[in-house]
Amino acid sequence: MLLRVLFVCYENICRSPMAEGIFSALVRRDARAEGIVVESAGTVCYQKGSLPDSRAVMVAGRYGIDISPLRARCIDELDLGLFDWIFTMDAENYQDVSNCFAGAGPVYMMTHFDPYAACQDIADPYYGSEDDFLRVYKQLDRAIGYAYRQILGGLHSSESSDINGFS
């Protein structure tokens, strides 16, 4: 395996499963991404083993992405040595990963590579409406497009980083 990517949110039932689904879809459609492994986790374990939120499943499904098989899990020390890239959804997740798992890395905010991000955080839509989930999905889709190009550019630095509209 060439590379492992982890997406982290609070409980691993809304944002990070959508991020895992979006990134996994890019990997499946790009022959240059062979060997990239994508997972997601939460910083707390209240929902361990739970399905993704039904609104996240529905919104991702609108875009042809099935996240229903995913199950919530909590990030742990074993993840530190496994993942080459870790993306957190908000400043609280970033602090939790950075403080509790010193040495994890590299750890980035999900919007780090997105030059058009209005703010650093991808807001948690859990207490919101379906429209909030849709807004988060669109933020993730754009941010992941930029992160994907950055990651693939590092793997294939001698090749073009244009992935033909994957954003």
Which residue is catalytic, options 14, 15, 141, 149?
15
Which residue is catalytic, options 79, 114, 124, 141?
124
Q: What are phi and psi of 46, to 5 degrees?
A: -60, -35
Task: Reply yes or no on whether 84 is catalytic.
Answer: no
Which residue is catalytic, options 9, 14, 121, 141?
9
Task: Reply yes or no on whether 162 is catalytic.
Answer: no
Task: Reply yes or no on whether 9 is catalytic.
Answer: yes
DSSP string, the chain: --EEEEEEESSSSSHHHHHHHHHHHHHHT-GGGTTEEEEEEESS-TTTTPPPPHHHHHHHHHTT---TT----B--HHHHHH-SEEEESSHHHHHHHHHHTTT---EEETTTT-TT-SSS-----TTS-HHHHHHHHHHHHHHHHHHHHHHHHHHTTTS----SS--
Residue 137: both structure tokens together? 């999905």
Q: What are the residue numbers of the active site?
A: 9, 15, 124
